[in-house]
């Protein structure tokens, strides 16, 4: 079957959806806009629901439930032909720089009307492509296997909607396609893993001018620890033989007065690698550096500082092999709509990370969003339309391996 896309309809969906604010945790208005479009297209209300991921996120983060307006929006669609369930997803939330953004079309691009905001193409291109998928299938009545359409919350603040998704709520899909980048020909089949950490450094305070010898400086401990990891090659870009990663200390807080030996400093940072065992090595280097530094700083009485390093896994890395049926299927369908696809791995976290971790092979593709999280953010319209065509093709194509 030849995919024919109503391009002006797809573009109108994108313009409509770009104009709606929906920062992380505040996706209520965009959920209502999507729901209205789906019902207008003829989706029965019984297929549409929101899950309770928002309550689980609030609980996990120890924040009030009111910080998270809505759960993930899920459409569970019975197939018009048998086959394993396929899921299509994109996140609904946008970054704070998108507050007040208004989309303006100029030629082949959509840009923010004001130079003071981003656009929200990350990731409303996905939302528009998914709404267009639903409208097109209902209108054209092309046969398709069971489908789940998933609009996630809180991706931008830590992939929380996807992390707190229950697979039973989305019907245990056999494979998934996540829309969240620019070039539709670039299929992301692997992504990096990351941990975030906080070092709580405790020293002993004392008057810095009168009795400096009684103090244990948390600032000095932090400085020695960071210098040690850097000297050993574990700060910034990390290369150890064939192993690669990155690490950064990004935030330092502490101190109350210049005349006081600082008794508490908090350092926050992250480590990343595609290789889960190397990620543990990098994290261990940082832990050892803080612990050694704490032991090395003493006051006149021989008292030392101490460090508690709190490490949490941000997301796990994954890599689908080129021979994986989902990768072969995606490459074949991209060629079928006239693209020249390539499979790549990426150095950032995606909603695909927790899904792959949970056992759902998930491939990420683009739909024309560029320079996200900046005032240069824009949509490349031909790429957006190609992304819409690829999503349609992935939804209806027969899968010989299934
Ligand atoms: Zn995104």
Burial 300-338 (b: 16+ CB within 10 A, else e): eeeeebebebebeebbbbbebeeebebbebbbebbebbe
- Alpha carbon of 27 to ligand 1 centroid (Å): 14
Q: What backbone torsions phi and psi does residue 182 show, to the nearest 5 degrees?
A: -95, -75
Domain ranges, ordered by start, for the chain: 7-192+318-396, 198-315
The burial class, CB within 10 Å (0-12 / 13-18 / 19+), for 354 is buried
Q: What is the pLDDT of residue 34?
A: 98
Cα-to-centroid distance, 351 and ligand 1 (Å)? 9
CA of 1 to the centre of ligand 1 (A): 31
Per-residue pLDDT tens digits for 281-335 = 999 999 999 999 999 999 999 999 999 999 988 888 899 999 999 999 999 999 9
What distance in Å separates the CA atoms of residue 338 and residue 18, rounded to the nearest whole number?
27
Architecture of the 198-315 domain = 2-Layer Sandwich (3.30)
CA–centroid distance, 309 to ligand 1, in Å, is 30
CA of 255 to the centre of ligand 1 (A): 36
Q: What is the pLDDT of residue 316?
A: 86
Query: Ligand 1 centroid vs 401 CA: distance in angstroms?
Result: 30
Q: How far is the CA of 323 from the centre of ligand 1 (A)?
A: 27
- pLDDT score at 314: 84
Residue 39 is predicted with a pLDDT of 97
Backbone φ and ψ for 367, nearest 5 degrees, come out as -145, 40
**What's the pLDDT score for residue 222?**
98
- Cα(201) to ligand 1 centroid in Å equals 34
Per-residue pLDDT of the chain (402 residues; tens, 9 = 90+): 788 999 999 999 999 999 999 999 999 999 999 999 999 999 999 999 999 999 999 999 999 999 999 999 999 999 999 999 999 999 999 999 999 999 999 999 999 999 999 999 999 999 999 999 999 999 999 999 999 999 999 999 999 999 999 999 999 999 999 999 999 999 999 988 999 999 999 999 999 999 999 999 999 999 999 999 999 999 999 999 999 999 999 999 999 999 999 999 999 999 999 998 999 999 999 999 999 999 999 999 999 999 999 998 888 889 999 999 999 999 999 999 999 999 999 888 899 999 999 999 999 999 999 999 999 999 999 999 999 999 999 999 998 777
Q: How many helices (H) and strands (E) does the chain have?
A: 10, 18
Structure tokens at 6: 């109503």
The whole-model pTM stands at: 0.84
Nearest to 51 by CA among 35, 37, 72: 72
- Helix 276-296 to helix 218-231 angle (10° resolution) is 140
Rounded (5°) CA angle 320-187-102 = 135
Q: What is the CA(226)–ligand 1 centre distance, in A?
A: 31
Q: Report the separation in Å between the CA atom of 181 and the middle of ligand 1, taken as the mean of its atom positions.
A: 7
CA of 109 to the centre of ligand 1 (A): 18
Q: Which residues have CB atoms below 5 A from the ion given as ligand 1?
A: 122-123, 180
- Supply the CATH classification number for the domain 7-192+318-396: 3.40.630.10
pLDDT of residue 313: 82
Expressed in angstroms and rounded, the spacing between residue 190 Cα and the centre of ligand 1 is 16
> How far is ligand 1, taken at its centre, from the CA of residue 71, in Å?
17
How far apart are the C-alpha atoms of 80 and 349, rounded to whole Å? Answer: 34
Give 107 Cα–ligand 1 centroid separation in angstroms: 24
Q: How far apart are CA 344 and CA 274, in angstroms?
A: 13
Distance from Cα 95 to the centre of ligand 1, integer Å: 9
Q: Ligand 1: distance of its center to the CA of 350 in Å?
A: 7
């Amino acid at each position: 079957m030849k995919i024919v896309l109503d391009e002006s309809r797809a573009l109108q969906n994108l313009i409509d959806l770009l104009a709606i604010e929906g920062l992380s945790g505040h996706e209520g208005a965009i959920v209502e806009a999507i729901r209205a479009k789906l019902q207008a297209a003829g989706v029965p209300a019984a297929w549409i629901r929101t899950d309770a991921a928002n309550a689980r996120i609030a609980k996990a983060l120890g924040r009030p439930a009111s910080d998270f307006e809505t759960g993930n929006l899920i459409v569970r669609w019975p197939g018009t032909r048998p086959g394993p369930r396929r899921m299509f997803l994109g996140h609904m939330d946008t970054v704070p720089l998108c507050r007040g953004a208004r989309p303006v079309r100029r030629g082949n691009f959509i840009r923010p009307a004001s130079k003071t905001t981003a656009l929200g193409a990350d990731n409303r291109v996905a939302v528009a492509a998914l709404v267009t998928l639903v409208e097109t299938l209902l209108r054209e009545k092309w046969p398709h296997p069971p489908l789940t359409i998933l609009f996630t919350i809180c991706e931008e603040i830590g992939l929380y909607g996807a992390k707190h998704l229950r697979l039973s709520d989305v019907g245990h899909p056999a494979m998934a396609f996540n829309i969240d980048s620019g070039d539709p020909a670039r299929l992301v089949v692997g992504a990096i893993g990351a941990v975030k950490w906080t070092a709580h450094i405790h020293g002993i305070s004392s008057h810095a001018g009168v009795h400096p010898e009684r103090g244990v400086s948390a600032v000095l401990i932090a400085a020695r620890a960071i210098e040690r990891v850097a000297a050993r090659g574990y700060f910034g870009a990390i290369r150890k033989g064939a192993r690669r990663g990155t690490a950064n200390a990004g935030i330092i807080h502490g101190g109350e007065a210049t005349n006081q030996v600082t008794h508490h400093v908090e350092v926050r940072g992250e480590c990343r690698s595609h290789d889960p065992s190397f990620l543990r090595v990098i994290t261990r280097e940082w832990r050892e550096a803080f612990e050694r530094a704490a032991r090395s700083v003493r006051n006149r009485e021989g008292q030392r500082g101490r460090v508690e390093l709190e490490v949490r896994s941000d997301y796990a890395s994954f890599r689908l092999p080129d021979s994986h049926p989902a990768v072969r299927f995606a490459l074949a369908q991209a060629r079928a709509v006239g693209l020249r696809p390539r499979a790549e791995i990426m150095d950032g976290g995606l909603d695909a990370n927790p899904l792959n971790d949970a056992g759902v092979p998930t491939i990420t593709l683009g739909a024309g969003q560029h320079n996200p999280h900046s005032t240069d953010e824009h949509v490349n319209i031909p790429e957006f339309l190609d992304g819409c065509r690829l999503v349609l093709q992935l939804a209806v194509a027969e899968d010989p391996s299934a």
